[in-house]
Amino acid sequence: MPTPFAEYDPNWSLMEKLAAKYRHIETLLIIGHGGSINTFRGLYAAFNNTHTPRRIIVDTNEPAYLEKMRALIDPAKTLLLAISKSGENTSQVESLLYFFDLPHKIFITGPSGVLRDMAKKDRKIDVIDHPDIGGRFTSFTEVALFPSLICGFDAHRIRTVLALSHSHVRNRAWEIANSLWALEQSGIDNVLLSVYTQALRGFDLFVQQLIHETIGKNKLGLTIIPLESPESQHHTSQRLFGGKRDTAVIFVTANQADLRVLVPKKFEDIVLRGKTLAQFENMNLAFSLEAEYIGTRNRADELGIPNLTINFEAIDEETAGAYIYFWQMLAVYSAHLRKVNAFDQPAVEASKDISFRERFK
């Protein structure tokens, strides 16, 4: 099975040169959609800190949102980064025109299209070539790596999974792809993605898009429903445990550092579920979070609801890269099992054509 996304070699010298040129920026304003932004959305959520440039993602042409974002930025300290392989996304072009007066601009785009034509007419725009790879598989290319460099993330380390022999990642992806295919054939075609670590929640849209666009073809495919956990236990557990049995769960957890709580003496005699608050003194919240996950997983086991757990000892650029690679390989293997093309998305264009015509009625 072809995996061009894993074999691509990005233009590091150009990326590092432009990252140095724009090191002064305080805001990174990214205009893009879907695969052009979803991996970086996850990387930023995982690794940003007080020294990281502020990130604004413009993935809509909603007037109120555009005006609100413009009010937040200092043009002289903002880098506008437009990303599109085709350069032909209408709402993206509209948003780009709204922000075009910003002085610092970089386009990541293909050899033809509106963005490339704009760059040819305005030589002040820096251009990075978009690889000939579909957006949802561009995680290890300039599309996600360049904004990572701008933000000071270790972009080289994100690609470590490709340089090393991570056959265990591919093997697990293959095993789970087979299990999910068997579940779909039995009528279980909803998958709750229950994420118990804030550091990985930013990848939810990446996973959802990757699976939906890759295997949602020929009236087949899974529906991925990302959940913030343990918050989701207060609502979606009712659907999972009390609703239709058409759903499986993938839990995502990470080992946590110890964090203890202190109980003010005046509250020690207050009772919670048969325990006084005094008994919570020095409680380790790492164990408490794990208990939330275990309670949900064990209840799923009791009811025979299919589930599996992906656990990380720690979250860093290397493990984030492995998480990305796992989902990409799972998507490719899932397409193979369903005998569909993993790298196209033929059903999305018809509605775009209708939307374009509606603008000029």
Q: What is the pLDDT of residues 323-343, one digit of tens each?
A: 999 999 999 999 999 999 999
Residue 146 pLDDT greater than 80, yes or no: yes
Of 137, 158, 179, the domain-final residue: 158
Answer yes or no: are the C-beta atoms of 107 and 80 closer than 8 Å.
Answer: no
Is 302 contained in some domain? yes
Residues in the chain: 361
- CA–CA separation, 324 and 159 (whole Å): 10
- CA–CA separation, 36 and 57 (whole Å): 11
Helices then strands, counting H and E runs in the chain, come out as: 16, 11
φ, ψ at 72 (rounded to 5°) = -90, -15
Q: What is the SS3 assignment for 207?
A: helix
Same domain, 175 and 240: yes
Percent of the chain with pLDDT over 70: 100
Same domain, 111 and 193: no
**Helices within the chain (DSSP H only):** 4-7, 12-21, 38-47, 63-72, 90-99, 114-121, 142-150, 155-158, 160-163, 167-185, 198-201, 204-215, 236-242, 285-302, 317-338, 349-359
Dihedral angle computed from the Cα positions of residues 159, 165, 169 and 175, in that order, rounded to the nearest 10 degrees: 140
Same domain, 176 and 241: yes
Enumerate the β-bridge partners of residue 248.
Answer: 191
Is 94 contained in some domain? yes
Strand order in the sheet with 223-228: 223-228, 190-195, 247-254, 307-312
Expressed as residue numbers, the domain containing 311 is 166-338
Of 158, 193, 210, the domain-final residue: 158
Is 126 contained in some domain? yes
pLDDT digits (tens, 9 = 90+) for 6-25: 999 999 999 999 999 999 99
Element containing residue 127 per DSSP (H, E): strand 126-129
Answer yes or no: are the C-beta atoms of 9 and 123 closer than 8 Å.
Answer: no
Tell me the mean pLDDT in the region 44-64: 96
- CA–CA separation, 289 and 6 (whole Å): 35
Token look-up 């048969």 returns 274
How large is the greatest C-alpha to C-alpha distance in the chain, in angstroms? 73
Tell me the mean pLDDT in the region 99-105: 98
- CA–CA separation, 277 and 271 (whole Å): 6
- CA–CA separation, 193 and 229 (whole Å): 9
Same domain, 123 and 258: no
Number of separate domains in the chain: 2
pLDDT band at 163 (very low <50, low <70, confident <90, very high): confident
pLDDT of residue 189: 97
Is 343 contained in some domain? no
Same domain, 8 and 111: yes
Same domain, 241 and 334: yes
* Closest to 120 in 3D by CA, of 87, 75, 79: 87
Tokens for 164, please give them.
Answer: 């090393």
Is 351 contained in some domain? no
Same domain, 107 and 183: no
* Closest to 321 in 3D by CA, of 26, 116, 35, 40: 40
For residue 34, the 8-state DSSP code is G
Of 102, 137, 158, the domain-final residue: 158
pLDDT band at 305 (very low <50, low <70, confident <90, very high): very high
Is 356 contained in some domain? no
pLDDT digits (tens, 9 = 90+) for 207-222: 999 999 999 999 999 9
CA-based end-to-end distance of the chain: 44
Same domain, 174 and 205: yes
Same domain, 279 and 319: yes
pLDDT of residue 361: 86
Same domain, 109 and 199: no
Is 198 contained in some domain? yes
Is 354 contained in some domain? no
pLDDT of residue 337: 98
* Closest to 136 in 3D by CA, of 343, 334, 348: 343
Same domain, 236 and 125: no
CATH code of the domain in which 112 resides: 3.40.50.10490
Tell me the mean pLDDT in the region 303-307: 98
Residue 248 pLDDT greater than 70, yes or no: yes
Answer yes or no: are the C-beta atoms of 165 and 37 closer than 8 Å.
Answer: no
Same domain, 27 and 133: yes
pLDDT band at 165 (very low <50, low <70, confident <90, very high): low
